[in-house]
Amino acid sequence: MSRTPGAEAPPVDRWSLVAVAGLLSFVAMLDMNIVNVALADISSSLHVSAATAQWAVLGYQLPVVALLLPVGRWLDGVGPRPALLTATCGFAVCSALAALSPWAAWLIAARLGQGAFGAVLFVLMPVLAMRSVRPELRGRAMSVPATLGPLGAVTGPALGGLLLDQLGWRAVFLVKLPVCVLALAVAWKAMPRDGRLRAPDRRSAADALLVGTGVSVLLVTLTLAASHGSWWLLAAPAAAGPLWWWLRGPGGRPVTGALRASGLYRAHGAVLALAAGFAAMHYVVALHLQRDDGVSATSTGLTVLAFPLGMGLAGPLGGRLADKYGARPVATAGAVLTAAGLLLLVPLGDTWSPPDVAWRLALAGLGMGLNGGPTQALVMGAAAPERAATVGSAVQLARSLGFTLGPALATAAWGLAGDGDGVRAGLALAAVAACLAVPLLAVPVRTPLKAQATDPVSAARS
């Protein structure tokens, strides 16, 4: 991302921009799940089938995930201020267009556009938080988007249900507009005027096509595998072709080079593992409480709310501890707590009580809160400054793939174990995924001296 000299260590900490990064991370992740509860009303209002209405969700999710890596490379060569203003305006306009949809094709087109702008926000927000404060405060700054983003995802269904009951399905798309307007006003005033915006070149368009095709095919097959196990056989082969072609070409080599130079493969693996473990746990717990234990939807919602509550409480603490003791030990401690919370769910009997589940989820949430900001600071601090957006996009892709992979893996484990032991098998899989993140984060990776020299503070503390 183009920058002025000294952009990596600003003379004045701009916490207002860190708040902007957190708010936009929240609304971008909110849109991943908030529309799910409105699909039946959308189907009825626009007179389309349930399968067509589902594209109101997929139309956002697919471009977000598919464009992350190409967007990261593009952002490394443009000015942060025009990129943020353009992406936020585009996101808000597409949200308004979605709310005004007179027919399904209009809605799907608006959601596709919103997803494309959302991909820019996903990649740009951690970079904005990192570059708005001095290096010794990065843990605290990175914890803001790292905590508020996932909180947006888990609170989406509850907020969407409230808006749906009170104001109708169009309000689900309009709720983000005040946040976008506030973010635009703050960014316009506070962000330094450096760099320009340029259109993606032909090479970037080709990269987007290859990565988009591969990742979209992978996500669709993983989604279908959740209900039809035979789709597992097609997931990897179908996505391998375009992704391999991209990795071997001029678009993929800089991405793999940036990860290799800073020793970030393990940290990205930990992000994917924790996201998969969380998503698998959330899927199994919610389904079992409602379907097998007969717990009401309200009680289920309040029970699983323990996880984001714990995460929200621990997020700011994780950032402060990372600034004081270093990012790696705090991120590892968070992964240990998350794994412990998920492991404690496995021995529960067939009949659960919401309080028994809630305190275990709260423990896992505390761990995720401690882990999120420090892991983001660890990864972004190890990246070369001119490749910060590229590395950040890889983190977001790992997290998004984990969120998709978790429920599919949990469903497969449940089916293989049978109804009697299916719940325990799904939870065991979630716990194993979280446990894998611990050694991936705990063992330091020796990075080249050149990479360490780009950020001596982070290198010393990692």
Q: How far apart are CA 438 and CA 419, in angstroms?
A: 30
- Angle between helix 55-66 and 388-442 (nearest 10): 90
Does the fold of domain 259-462 match that of domain 7-190? yes
pLDDT in tens, 356-378: 888 888 999 999 989 888 888 88
pLDDT at 224: 61
Position with higher pLDDT, 462 vs 119:
119
Distances (CA, A) of 351 to 289, 290, 291, 354: 9, 12, 12, 10
Contact 137, 12 (CB under 8 A): no
Hey, what amino acid is at 291?
R
CATH of the domain spanning 259-462, picked from 3.20.20.140, 3.30.70.330, 1.20.1250.20, 3.40.50.11260: 1.20.1250.20
Share of the chain above pLDDT 90, in %: 16
Share of the chain above pLDDT 70, in %: 78
The CB density around residue 456, as the number of other CB atoms within 10 Å, is 10
CATH class of 7-190: mainly alpha
pLDDT at residue 456 tops 50: no
Residue 17 CA from chain centroid, whole number? 20
- Provide the 8-state DSSP code for 2: -
Q: Under a CB-based contact definition with an 8 Å cutoff, are residues 267 and 440 in contact?
A: yes
Least confident of 170-179, 210-219, 361-370: 210-219
pLDDT digits (tens, 9 = 90+) for 299-325: 666 777 788 888 888 888 888 898 888
Q: For 404-449, what is each residue's pLDDT tens digit?
A: 778 777 877 777 776 667 788 888 989 999 999 999 888 776 554 4
Task: Assign residue 20 a region (left: φ > 0; alpha: ψ between -120 and 50; beta: otherwise).
Answer: alpha
Give pLDDT, residue 296.
59
Predicted pLDDT at 5: 34
- Statement: residue 75 has pLDDT above 80: yes
pLDDT at 80 over 90: no
CA Rg value for the chain: 21
Separation CA 390–CA 385 (nearest Å): 10
Residues 33-66 pLDDT 10s: 788 778 888 888 888 887 778 788 878 888 887 7
The residue extents of the domains of the chain are 7-190, 259-462
Q: Check residue 177 and give its pLDDT.
A: 92
Number of other CB atoms surrounding residue 381 within 10 Å:
24
When the pLDDT of each residue in the chain is averaged and rounded to a whole number, the result is 78
Determine contact, residues 315/373, Cβ cutoff 8 Å.
yes
- Coil, strand or helix at 132: coil
